[in-house]
Every structure is written in structure tokens, then in C-alpha cells.
Amino acid sequence: MRVERLRLTDFRGYRELDLALPPGLIVFYGRNAQGKSNLLEAISLLATTRSFRTSSEREVIRWGAPGRFARVVGDIARSRDHLEIEVILAEGMEDGAATTPTSAPSATAPTASTFRKRVRVNGAPRRAIDLVGTAPVVVFAPTDLDLVTGGPSQRRHFLDLTLCQTRHSYCRALSQYQKVVAQRGALLKRIREGLETPQSLAYWDDQLVRLALPIMRERADFLERASAVAARVYAALASDDAGDDAGDDAGAEEQTETQAPLRLEYRPSYQEYQAAAAGSGAEADSTQQAARMRAALEAVRRREIAQGVNVLGPHRDDLGFLAGGVDLAIYGSRGQQRTVALALKLAELEYIEQETGEQPALLLDDVLSELDPQRREDLLAAVRGLDQTLVTTTDLAIAPTNALRQATIFEVRAGAVKPVTQKPPMPEVIPEAGG
């Protein structure tokens, strides 16, 4: 999948933009706050209907826009067809709105009554939740470099966005599950306050279990398959990690251990799931799984009521990153942790392509500046040959020269996007003395 043409109206700093995009590697460069990341944000919006940069979508409307709306249109080339995808975000728009469940709305986000979203594919209205996965993308932003060491919610968001782009059934189940968790949580608080009885939880227990098990099954299956890909990519990218943070003998021994094959580990809050049900889809097994999970909810009933929160379920899942039995989130060097994040994103890309038959566009938003020179080389070498990779950077000098010579380069300045026709020179090769 690739974006052949991107049109923006009153989106961020762009009053109007009509930009043709070629296949292959595309580099947008310019100083900070010139509009580079906004281009990738617009493409991500076409794929997921959400911004990866903000939870308040009102922010994408250009300040002072006369109609108080932003419009993003993309001409999308897929392996089997071409599509025109249009997303409009507006205040006070009368058309129906829809939201996607890839992340929970923030407490400060505008309400549906004042802020609306409209989606069209080839001119026909579509629900936002049904658009997800139509034009898949993989986004790699600086915050994603903290996937290993960041909070569990960041890793759950990664899982959900990946799976929503491959299966509509997962996206629908997740949306329903989030509503059940909200309703059940409110009921737990009412029980704690003496306004309801614990018996009233029976219905919501059944609903939580019914939706939670398929979500956990999909997550476990994805991580099992992605683990092999991530291990392969990690091994290729981590060749220079052995020297990171190495010092004394103990440190050197730890570095040797962490060069073992990478393994992704699913860590559900309902821990009995893995032992009793991982990877099983049989009806009899599903019935047993549901019974076990309802029993687990009964076992934590007092704790849930006392805290007024849902203790078990996919909303509390996590994943771990292990090499030779070592937890890289705790004991890995900073370099190794960033290499794991790179491997995870490239595993996501390969998984989506295998599941959908469409290779996602890869969006690399200012990540080169966060990597050392070797990892920049490794990353761009790993993505060479993809249908379309879009990169933003403030400094062309940090990008590997060989990659730039094969790239289409645009300069972005104050919301104007101009092609750069002169490629950077190849580095001079100096002969070694005595040769």
C-alpha cells in the first residue's frame, strides 16, 4: 500500500496542500515546527481515523480556519485496487460521527455533540471503525522508542492498533469490551457505596468474559507469531549492542546473556489464561475457559469492590521482552531497548502484511535523531525495498548517504513542501596509508 497523492485543507499549519508522493523512500526535512510531522499525521489519520500525536482531535484544525474544519484526502494505491479516502473533522458538523477504539478518549477531548468526524471511501460514507485497516500504516515516533521501558498502556495501545488493522472483529470486540469495563467499573463503585448488591455483577461478569477471551486469544496469537520475526530482526540489528554499557566482568556477562534470541512474552492480568487456554479455539475449551475466568472474577470480588475497579481483563494486560531469560526492560542497555523497539515495529509491519496481503506504509517521524549512526544505517537498510517509507528529519546530514541517494527528498518550510532535486554527494573514500 502506498499514498500516491495527499490533499490537505486547514489541517494543522496547512491552509491548502496538494502533494504527489512517489513509491520508495521519501524524506521530509526542515527545521522544527515547519509541518513535517503533520504530513505523517495526516497519512496516519487516513489509516486509523486518529492522530498519533494528540488525543484532542480539535487540535488538527488550523488555527483561524474559517469553517472550523480540517479535511484530509488521500489517493491510495493497494495491491488490488485504488481508493480515495477522505476524513473531515469539524466542530458542529451535522453528519454522524464515529470513533475508533484504538485508544480511550481523554478526559479533555471534545464531546461528540460539539466535534464530529466524517469518513468517506470513494465518495461513500463509512463508519470510522470500518475504515481501520483499509490502508494500513506502521508509525514509528520517538515515543515508540520507549515501548520497552514505558507504561503498560503504551504496549496495549500497540497491540490494539496492530490487531485492529488486521481484524475488524477484534476492533468491534475491543470497542464493546471498553464499554463493558466502564459499566462494570461504575457498578463496582455503586456496590462499594451500598447502592447495589454484589449479585448485580453476574450479567457484567458474563459480558466481560465473553469479550475478554477472544481479545486475549488474538493478542497471544499475534505475539507468538511476531516473536519469531522480532527475534530475527533483533539479531540483525543488535550486532553492535554487546559493547553498550559494558564495563566490569559482571556487566560483560550480562551483555553476553542479552545477546541471546529475543522472545516476546504475553503477560495477561488473568494469568491462568496462558496455562489453560493459550492458542485454543475449540468450543469445549472456550466453555472451560469462560468458566475458569468467571471463577477468577469471583475470587477477586472483594478486592474489586473495595477498590471500585476492574482487576482482571485485557485492559490490564502487558507484554515483556526477554533474551536468555533476562528481562530487557530492566536489565537491557538503552541501546538494546531501542533495538527491541525497532524489531517490534518491523515485526508489526510484517505481521500486517501477512494477515491482510497489503504491505503497510512505514512512517518514521523524527526517529533518526534518537538513534546512533549504526542503528540509523541498520534501520534504513532493513526497510529498503518497502513499497513506501516516509521519514521526517531536521538534519539531512544524520541520514545515511546511501539511503538519501535513493530517496525522494522534500524540504518543508512554513507549511510549503518543495522537492529537492540535488542529491547529497557520496562520501569521499580515503585510501589507507601503506596500502
Per-residue pLDDT of the chain (435 residues; tens, 9 = 90+): 999 999 999 999 999 999 999 999 999 999 999 999 999 999 999 999 999 988 788 889 998 888 899 999 999 999 999 999 999 999 875 544 444 444 433 333 444 447 889 999 999 999 999 999 999 999 999 889 889 999 999 999 999 999 999 999 999 999 999 999 999 999 999 999 999 999 999 999 999 999 999 999 999 999 999 999 999 999 988 765 554 544 444 444 445 444 688 999 999 999 877 644 444 444 447 888 899 999 999 999 999 999 999 999 999 999 999 998 899 999 999 989 999 999 999 999 999 999 999 999 999 999 999 888 988 998 999 899 999 999 999 999 999 998 999 999 999 999 899 999 876 665 554 444 444
Beta strand 137-140 with 124-126 is unpaired
Picking from 146, 193, 145, 139, the residue whose alpha carbon sits closest to that of residue 161 is 139
At residue 424, the pLDDT reads: 61
CATH number given to 143-345: 1.20.1050.90
At residue 432, the pLDDT reads: 46
Dihedral of the CA atoms 317, 318, 324, 328 (nearest 10)? -160
Ordered by start, the domain boundaries in the chain are 2-136+361-420, 143-345
Question: For residue 219, which amino acid is it?
Answer: R
At residue 410, the pLDDT reads: 97
Torsions phi, psi of 392, nearest 5? Answer: -115, 145
CATH of 2-136+361-420, one of 3.40.50.300, 3.30.1450.10, 3.40.50.150, 3.30.565.10: 3.40.50.300
At residue 301, the pLDDT reads: 96
At residue 259, the pLDDT reads: 64
Angle at 431 between CA 429 and CA 435, to 5 degrees: 155
Residue whose C-alpha cell is 489453560 = 276
Q: How far is CA 199 from the centre of its chain?
A: 39
At residue 335, the pLDDT reads: 87
Give the span between the Cα atoms of 69 and 319, in whole angstroms. Answer: 39
